[in-house]
Amino acid sequence: MVDLTKVSDSIDGLADQQIKAGGIKLTPASVFAIITFLSTVVGGLYGGFVMYQKIEEVAGLDLGEYQQAMDVMDAKVTGISTKVEESVEYTRDIKNGLRDDILGIEKQADRVEDTVRSIEDTVDTLLREHEAKIRTLIDAADVRFESQRDRLRTSQDAEMKELEARLTKKLQRALDNPLAN
């Protein structure tokens, strides 16, 4: 005979496979997905912060001071105009190089932002897929549980009817023959 208490306890154990945090029940898969999402966001923010620092560093350069120094040198040394012209050209090259560097940093920041958005979309999709799979597993477990419970009820009903029939038969025999006792 099947022990209904053991069967019920083993089925109830399936529902206990959750973690409770802050009043919210989470499965190990959803905890892993949340940690992955948070680490992606924090990594993206850190990358953006580093880029921002570099942009601020480059933007903090005062090109006006360099130009002013060149003008002072030009005024003092009128006989060496070719060297001053070379210096001005070199300063322009530096300025153009810095502009190109800033544009490159902006492009990198845009790529990082696009990557973070893509990763967020992927994580959202994975979360939805895993949630659907978990719901399917829970529904399948519910169906199996109901089936098992119905089978046990049917088995119990049959055993009870058989026992009732035997008791009725013995009682009837005892009533039919009162001298046998």
Contacts of 141 (CB under 8 A, 6+ apart): 11, 14
Q: What is the DSSP string of 97-137?
A: HHHHHHHHHHHHHHHHHHHHHHHHHHHHHHHHHHHHHHHHH
Do the domain assignments include residue 66? yes
Number of domains into which the chain is organized: 1
Tens-digit pLDDT profile for residues 103-147: 999 999 999 999 999 999 999 999 999 999 999 999 998 999 999
Query: Which pLDDT score, from 0 to 100, does residue 124 have?
Result: 93
Which range among 10-19, 47-56, 169-178 has the greatest average pLDDT? 47-56
Residue 89: which domain range? 26-128
Query: Which pLDDT score, from 0 to 100, does residue 46 have?
Result: 93
Query: Which pLDDT score, from 0 to 100, does residue 86 have?
Result: 80
Interior/surface letters 26-46, b for 16+ CB within 10 angstroms, e for the rest: eeeebeebeeebeebeeebee
Do the domain assignments include residue 150? no
Query: Which pLDDT score, from 0 to 100, does residue 12 have?
Result: 53
Do the domain assignments include residue 14? no
Query: Which pLDDT score, from 0 to 100, does residue 14 have?
Result: 44
Higher pLDDT, 124 or 70: 124
Tens-digit pLDDT profile for residues 114-123: 999 999 999 9
Do the domain assignments include residue 164? no
Query: Which pLDDT score, from 0 to 100, does residue 25 have?
Result: 77
Higher pLDDT, 85 or 7: 85
Do the domain assignments include residue 3? no
Higher pLDDT, 93 or 180: 93
Do the domain assignments include residue 117? yes
Token pair for 78? 């009128």
Do the domain assignments include residue 90? yes
Do the domain assignments include residue 118? yes
